[in-house]
Amino acid sequence: MNQPQLAHTLAEMLPEMAQPQPGTTFANAQLVVLNEALARELGLDPEWLRSHDGVQWLAGSQGGHAMAYSGHQFGQFVPLLGDGRATLLGNLPTTGDQGGYEIQLKGSGLTGFSRPGSDGAGAIGPMLREYLVSEFMHAVGIPTTRSLAVLSTGQHVIRRQGGVPGGIVVRVAKSHLRIGSVQYAATQSTELVEKVIRAAGFDSPVALLQHTLDSQLALVAKWMRIGFVHGVMNTDNAALSGETIDYGPCAFTETYDPDAVFSSIDAQGRYRFGHQPSIAVWNVARLAEALLGVMDQDTAQSILGQAQQRWDAAWNAEVPNPEELAAAEDLFEFNGIVFGPRNGMLERAIVEAERNSNLEPFLELARATQDPFNPDAGPEWMKAPEGAFPFRTFCGT
C-alpha cells in the first residue's frame, strides 16, 4: 500500500481558521498500539501502518493544519485558543460532499496556537487513556471520536511527575469543529460564521443550534447512564458532531453520585457528574450567542426554551427506570458491562506503561474493554467493582 492520500476539506472551506503545519519527523518514533479493526474500517492497511513509512506518517511527517477556535474555559471566555498541540492531517476522501473521517494528531509538537511555555508535545499516559476510554465508549454505543493509534516519540517531556515518555494519539472524528469554532468565527465576521455552519454540514444556523442542543443532551444522557464524568466540558470541548471529544481528566463513578468530581483542575465542581446536563445547555446557550449575527434572537431563545423538555426526552430514552439506576451498586454491572475502564485499574496500567515501559497490563485491559459485554474477554479479577476511594485525574497532556 502507498501512503494514504488525504483531502484537506476543512482547511479549504475555512482557510481563515487553518494554519498550515509543516511535517514533523521523530527519528525514534515507535508504534505503541494500533487499532487494526478501525484501520480496516477506514480503508487503511495495518501492515503498512506498522512499517517505518507508516509510523512516520502516523507521527505527522506529511504535515497538516492547526485550527483556530475560541472557548469558555470554566466559564471564562478566551477569544483565541486553537490547536496548541494538535495537527489535523486531513480527511479520508470517501464519503459525501464533506469528505470522510478526519485524522488528527494530538501531542505532535508546537503550533502557532501553542500556549506560552507549552512544548506542544504529549505525554504517553494521557494518550493511552484517550485510546482506551474512547474505544470503550465506542464499544458501548456512545458517540465518540475514535483512536487509531498511540505512538511514542522517543523523546521525554516534563510534566508534574517529572520526565515521562512523549506520546501521540492519532484521533479519528467525523469533524473536529466545536462550539468554540463558531465562537471564534463570531469574533471575526458574520461571513465566517456562515462558512463554519456550512463546513459543519448544516444549511442554516437554526438547524445547527437545534441539532447541537439535541445531540449534546442525548450524549450526556448516555454518559450518565454508565457513570462517565467528562471533567472538562469547556465549549472548545463540545463537538458540533455530537461526539465525545477530549478525554484528558475523564473518569467513571461506579454509583450514581451527582457530586462526583475527579478532575484536579475542577476545584469548584463545575463539571461534576450531576451538573453535566446543565453545563451542556449552558454551552449551547453560548453557541446561540455566537449565532446571533446570523439568526433571529427570538428563534434562538425559542430553541433554548426547549432544553428541559429535550433533556427529559433524552434521559427517559436512555434510562426508563431512573430510580433503579440511582440505587444501582455498580453502574457498569447495571448496564450489562462486564469489562469497563475502572479508575484504579486504568491508572495502574497507564503508570506501568509510563514508568516501566510494560504495556501488557494496558493491552490486556484494552482487549477486555473493547469487548465489554463478553464475559470471556478478560480475566475474572477485572470484572469486580473497586468501590469508593480517593481518586484524582490530571489533564497532563
Question: Quick one: three-class SS letters along 242-271?
Answer: CCECCCCCCEECCCCCCCCCCECCCCCCCC
Q: How confident is the model at residue 328 (pLDDT cuts 50, 70, 90)?
A: very high
Q: Please state, in angstroms and rounded to a whole number, the distance separating the CA atoms of residues 240 and 322.
A: 28
User: How far is C-alpha 343 from the chain's CA centre?
Assistant: 18
Structural domain boundaries, residue 90: 9-173
Q: What number of other Cβ atoms are within 10 A of residue 306's Cβ?
A: 14
Q: How many domains, the chain?
A: 1
Mean per-residue pLDDT, 57-77: 97
3-state secondary structure of 152: strand
Q: What is the CA radius of gyration of the chain?
A: 20
Is residue 188 situated within a structural domain? no
pTM of the model: 0.96
Tell me the CA distances in angstroms from 56 to 49, 101, 361, one per residue in order. Answer: 9, 20, 26
Q: Summarize the confidence of residues 136-142 as an average pLDDT.
A: 98
* Any domain includes 318: no
Asked whether residue 21 is domain-assigned, the answer is: yes
Write out pLDDT tens, residues 151-192.
999 998 887 777 889 999 999 999 999 999 999 999 999 999
Which helix (H) or strand (E) covers residue 180, if one does?
Answer: helix 179-186
Whether the CB-CB separation of 211 and 360 falls below 8 Å is answered with no
Instruction: Give pLDDT, residue 96.
Output: 46
Q: Is the pLDDT of residue 31 over 90?
A: yes
Q: Is residue 326 part of a domain?
A: no
pLDDT at residue number 397: 60
- Reply yes or no on whether the pLDDT at 22 is more than 80: yes
Average pLDDT estimate for 11-39 = 96
Cα separation, 307 vs 214, in Å, equals 8
State how far the Cα of 156 lies from the Cα of 374, in Å rounded to an integer: 37
298 assigned to some structural domain: no
Digit-coded pLDDT (tens) for 272-307: 999 999 999 999 999 999 999 999 999 999 999 999
φ, ψ (nearest 5 deg) of residue 153: -90, -10
In a domain, 149, yes or no: yes
Confidence of residue 324 (pLDDT cuts 50, 70, 90): very high
Q: What is the pLDDT of residue 396?
A: 65
In this predicted model, what pLDDT tens digit does every residue of 368-397 receive, in sequence order? 999 999 999 999 999 999 998 999 998 766
| Mean model confidence pLDDT for the chain | 95
Is the predicted pLDDT of residue 132 greater than 50, yes or no? yes
Rounded to whole angstroms, the Cα distance separating 283 from 29 reads 38
115 in any annotated domain:
yes
Nearest Cα to 127, choosing from 390, 336, 361, 354? 354
Which three cell numbers mark 129?
487513556
Q: How many of the other CB atoms lie within 10 Å of CB of 27?
A: 9
Within a domain: 20: yes
Mean pLDDT, residues 62-83 taken together: 97
Per-residue pLDDT band for 99 (boundaries 50, 70, 90) equals: low
pLDDT band at 232 (very low <50, low <70, confident <90, very high): very high
For residues 123 and 85, the answer to whether their CB atoms sit within 8 Å is: no
What positions carry a catalytic annotation? 236
pLDDT of 97 strictly over 70: no
H or E element, residue 86:
strand 86-91
pLDDT at 93 > cutoff 80: no
pLDDT of residue 100 exceeding 90, the answer is: no
